[in-house]
Amino acid sequence: MSFLTTQALARSFGGLKAVAGVDLALAQGEIRAIIGPNGAGKTTLVSLISGRIPPSAGRITFDGADITELKPWDRVLRGIVYTFQITSIFKNLTLTDNVALAAQRALTRSRPLWRGLDSSEIATATQSALDRVGLGARADELAGELAYGHQRLLEVAMGLALKPKLLILDEPTQGLSEQEIADFCRLVKSIAQEATILLIEHNMDVVMEMADRITVMNNGAMLAEGTPDEIMNHAEVQRAYLGA
């Protein structure tokens, strides 16, 4: 059985079928990219997987359990962590405080209530998550003072502090420089040693370098799926998306 599966997963907004019956199957430990034109339904699909919005139809299983009815936070507790396309940090808190909030939740989840939280444990987890995304030296700055691209990295640090089994990244490289993108790719590859990655990405260089497999969406449906090579050479994908 796959680590994550969606079966006939669908979501409509009024008359619009944003996700129109998607069957997705992810293996544990893979880096899966989802690509497709604007409005293809990529964000809606991962919002269904994270539980941010409920489906109109279909089922989702993760790590051996049906999670379709679970609330978003219960999915986080099971290890599904989603960094939003629209940034969701607390701008008037420091980087440390933002990440510590996430670390605290992750450390609380596996522990009996009577065993208090060790603040040095939270501090260590927080600093290590910030170091990992390259923001360790700016830990005491206010999140709102970071450039947009760095706010996205802070979100990834918050996600890491939640100890993900499945990390969903929605356009993480948007707003990053070339060098920052290269660093980011290295970071995601290192995260992939411990977690499965679902990556929505428009930068095709990043997709081709990172992905084990690629799922192409168009009009709410899955248009194609395969290795980077297979997708590059897929005639229908070239017509619909790659602009050949």
Ligand X SMILES: Nc1ncnc2c1ncn2[C@@H]1O[C@H](COP(=O)(O)OP(=O)(O)OP(=O)(O)O)[C@@H](O)[C@H]1O
Q: Which does 98 bind (CB under 5 to 8 A by kind): ligand X, Mg ion, none?
A: none
| 13 near ligand X, judged by CB under 6 A | yes
Q: How many CB atoms lie within 10 A of CB 132?
A: 17
Q: What does 13 bind: ligand X, Mg ion, none (CB cut-off 5 to 8 Å by kind)?
A: ligand X
First to last CA, the chain: 36
Shortest CA distance to 101 belongs to which of 74, 130, 65? 130
Three-state DSSP state, 31: strand
Note whether 215 binds ligand X by CB under 6 A. no
What does the DSSP assignment read for 112-157?
A: -TTS---HHHHHHHHHHHHHHTT-GGGTTSBGGGS-HHHHHHHHHH
Asked if 42 touches ligand X (CB under 6 A), the answer is: yes
Residue 36 binding target from Mg ion, ligand X, none, CB below 5 to 8 Å by type: ligand X
The region of 24-32, 35-43, 59-67, 96-104 touching ligand X under the rule CB under 6 A is 35-43
Q: Does 215 bind Mg ion (CB under 5 A)?
A: no
Q: Which stretch binds ligand X (CB under 6 A): 12-20, 104-112, 114-122, 149-157?
A: 12-20
Interacting residues of 221 by C-beta distance below 8 A, sequence separation 6+: 20, 21, 22, 41
CA distances from 149 to 31, 46, 96, 154, 193 (A): 21, 21, 17, 9, 24
Q: Check binding of 43 to Mg ion (CB under 5 A).
A: yes
Closest contact distance (angstroms) between CB of 83 and ligand X is: 14
Residue 148 contacts ligand X per CB under 6 A: no
- Work out whether 44 is an interface residue with Mg ion (CB under 5 A): no
Record the tokens describing residue 196, joined without a space.
């499965």
> Considering CB distances under 5 to 8 angstroms, the limit depending on partner class, which of Mg ion, ligand X, none binds residue 214?
none
- Joined together, the tokens standing for residue 104 give 């605290």
Q: Which residues bind Mg ion (CB under 5 A)?
A: 42-43
Q: Which residues bind ligand X (CB under 6 A)?
A: 13, 16, 18, 36, 38-44
